[in-house]
């Protein structure tokens, strides 16, 4: 079949996308973006390319609608993280084997890009006008902070998104099995990046004369506290809605402890009792701080006066840097100086207006579907579009087999996506484009 009919073969479309090595760094998204540009222009789409660096372009295309609804944005990134480790199939071969498409980015997020691109191309090829304009935006640089991608577009070209109120992007719409029930979490809110440098000070001296209570000792106390204890529990509206939606549809023996997670005095003990199953809910109920980089000392025989620790803090909606800094001081009992390296705030309350439309598309394709709102513990490019007043829904629908370790495969060797899930997601997004 000709290449311009790839919208009818979304699995093959994903395979082709995976064969472009867009590992970031360095990214090199240009060849991938130019290939997509050719597909869209062959269908008669007007395509715009915006780039700060020639090898790191972003693509914007639009289908005109009937003007009955605000424009809908479909946004996704084409860069991927490095492919390390041992792989069953080459990470950039795009192999179809055992009913799965294998490759770096199959889940994060070229699989989602393939769904959105195929649905967009089908809408264009059909000639039928959607309720409003549909804007497709394929982005560079998400895996390294989005400075050359979404952040660039929002800062320097906000006019490209005039009138947009809602966006579809990563991460949500995948199946999650709990007690034999099939849920589809749709991301409506995400945590906030707050990269932080913590500095500890203490007396310096010759290493032959040990000191107590120095910077290194303080660092040890901080790391030990982060390893053994959690920051305080906070129950945000989205986390509450998510837990209550799950509890409503599971057996009472599980519903009761799930609802107990929403009682701060019980939350941590119940999370411990849940064990591995509790990992899903743990970051949704706490601000978190992960220690990643330590710097201190210059010579082996000199006790350092200053030690610094870089922390990847993720804040719940509605909380700011000073609040998590106070929590870290209280947790560790150590005097700490904090410097914000990067902070990307997000809206406190999500706009749920389009949730029912997305949930309805899932129920039509899977009558057993139980769509629920989700707070994402990570971050997406949606945080930048929110600066323009755009609500992003994580909606890349995937019917996944119960045994597939979905979250564990993201950024890991043998990343893969069931071929049937690509078809399912394309149909679901297509239905949304008909009725948003």
> Which of 133, 142, 170, 327 is an active site residue?
142
Asked if residue 328 has pLDDT above 70, the reply is yes
Per-residue pLDDT reduced to its tens digit, 92-149:
999 999 999 999 999 999 999 999 999 999 999 999 999 999 999 999 999 999 999 9
Which band of pLDDT confidence, cut at 50, 70 and 90, is reported for residue 213?
Answer: confident
Domain boundary (328, 344, 360) is at 344
Does some domain include residue 387? yes
Does some domain include residue 271? yes
| Cβ atoms 143, 81 nearer than 8 A | yes
Query: Which structural domain, as residue segments, surrounds residue 149?
Result: 3-175+351-435
Q: What is the count of structural domains for the chain?
A: 2
**3-class SS of residue 61:** strand
Domain boundary (320, 344, 368) is at 344
- Shared domain for 356 and 339, answered yes or no, is no
The whole-model pTM stands at 0.92
- Check which CATH number belongs to the domain holding 226 and give it: 3.30.70.360
What pLDDT does residue 57 have? 98
Does some domain include residue 236? yes
Asked if residue 1 has pLDDT above 50, the reply is no
- Shared domain for 48 and 31, answered yes or no, is yes
Q: How large is the average pLDDT for residues 69-91?
A: 96
**3-class SS of residue 333:** coil
- Shared domain for 296 and 171, answered yes or no, is no
Is 79 an annotated catalytic residue? yes
Is 98 an annotated catalytic residue? no
What pLDDT does residue 143 have? 95
Does some domain include residue 187? no
List all residues 6 or more positions away from 148 whose beta carbon is below 8 Å from its beta carbon.
27, 51, 52, 53, 56, 58, 140, 141
What pLDDT does residue 19 have? 98
Per-residue pLDDT reduced to its tens digit, 157-200:
999 999 999 999 998 999 998 888 999 999 999 999 999 999 99
- Check which CATH number belongs to the domain holding 137 and give it: 3.40.630.10
Mean pLDDT of the chain: 95
> Which of 12, 29, 79, 170 is an active site residue?
79
Does some domain include residue 184? no
Asked if residue 345 has pLDDT above 50, the reply is yes
Does some domain include residue 376? yes
- Shared domain for 196 and 171, answered yes or no, is no
- Which of 394, 288, 407 shows the shortest CA–CA distance to 350? 394
- Shared domain for 170 and 205, answered yes or no, is no
What pLDDT does residue 4 have? 61
Per-residue pLDDT reduced to its tens digit, 293-304:
999 999 999 999
What pLDDT does residue 79 have? 98
DSSP β-bridge partners for residue 374:
187
What pLDDT does residue 425 have? 97
**3-class SS of residue 111:** helix
- Exposure letters 287-307 (e unless 16+ CB within 10 A, then b): bbbeeeeeebbeeeeebbeeb
What pLDDT does residue 48 have? 98
Domain boundary (344, 371, 390) is at 344
- Shared domain for 72 and 201, answered yes or no, is no
What pLDDT does residue 407 have? 76
Does some domain include residue 50? yes
- Shared domain for 22 and 96, answered yes or no, is yes
d(CA 176, CA 246): 10
């Amino acid at each position: 079949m000709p290449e311009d009919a790839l919208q009818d073969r979304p699995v093959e479309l994903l395979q082709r996308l995976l064969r472009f090595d867009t590992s970031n760094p360095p990214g090199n998204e240009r060849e991938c973006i130019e290939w997509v540009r050719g597909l869209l222009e062959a269908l008669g789409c007007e395509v715009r390319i915006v780039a700060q660096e020639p090898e790191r372009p972003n693509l914007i295309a639009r289908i005109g609608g009937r003007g009955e609804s605000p424009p809908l944005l479909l946004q996704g990134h084409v860069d991927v993280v490095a492919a390390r480790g041992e792989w069953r199939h080459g990470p950039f071969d795009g192999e179809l084997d055992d009913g799965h498409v294998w490759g770096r980015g199959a889940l994060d997020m070229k699989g989602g890009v393939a769904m959105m691109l195929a649905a967009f191309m089908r809408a264009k090829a059909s000639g039928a006008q959607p309720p409003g304009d549909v804007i497709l935006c394929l982005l560079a640089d998400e895996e390294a902070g989005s400075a050359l991608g979404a952040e660039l577009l929002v800062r320097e070209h906000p006019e490209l998104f005039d009138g947009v109120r809602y966006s579809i992007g990563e991460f949500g719409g995948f199946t999650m099995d709990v007690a034999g029930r099939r849920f589809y979490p749709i991301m409506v809110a995400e945590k906030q990046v707050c990269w932080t440098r913590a500095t500890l000070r203490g007396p310096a001296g010759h290493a032959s004369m040990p000191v107590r209570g120095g910077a290194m000792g303080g660092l040890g106390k901080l790391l030990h506290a982060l390893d053994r204890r959690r920051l305080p529990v906070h129950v945000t509206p989205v986390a509450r809605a998510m837990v209550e939606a799950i509890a409503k549809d599971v057996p009472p023996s599980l519903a009761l402890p799930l609802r107990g997670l929403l009682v701060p005095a019980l939350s941590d003990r119940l999370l411990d009792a849940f064990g591995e199953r509790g990992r899903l809910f743990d970051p949704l109920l706490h601000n978190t701080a992960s220690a990643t980089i330590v710097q201190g000392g210059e010579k082996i025989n000199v006790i350092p006066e200053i030690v610094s620790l870089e922390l990847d803090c993720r804040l719940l909606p509605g909380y700011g840097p000073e609040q998590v800094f106070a929590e870290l001081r209280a947790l560790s009992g150590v005097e700490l100086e904090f410097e914000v390296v990067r902070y990307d705030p997000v809206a406190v309350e999500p706009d749920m207006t389009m949730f029912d439309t997305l949930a309805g598309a899932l129920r039509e394709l899977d009558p057993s579907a139980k769509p629920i709102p989700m707070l994402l513990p990570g971050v997406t490019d949606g945080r930048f579009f929110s600066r323009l007043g755009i609500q992003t829904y994580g909606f890349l629908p995937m019917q996944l087999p119960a045994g597939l370790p979905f979250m564990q495969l993201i950024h890991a060797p043998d990343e893969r996506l069931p071929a049937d899930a690509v078809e399912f997601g394309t149909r679901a997004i297509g239905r949304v484009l008909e009725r948003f």
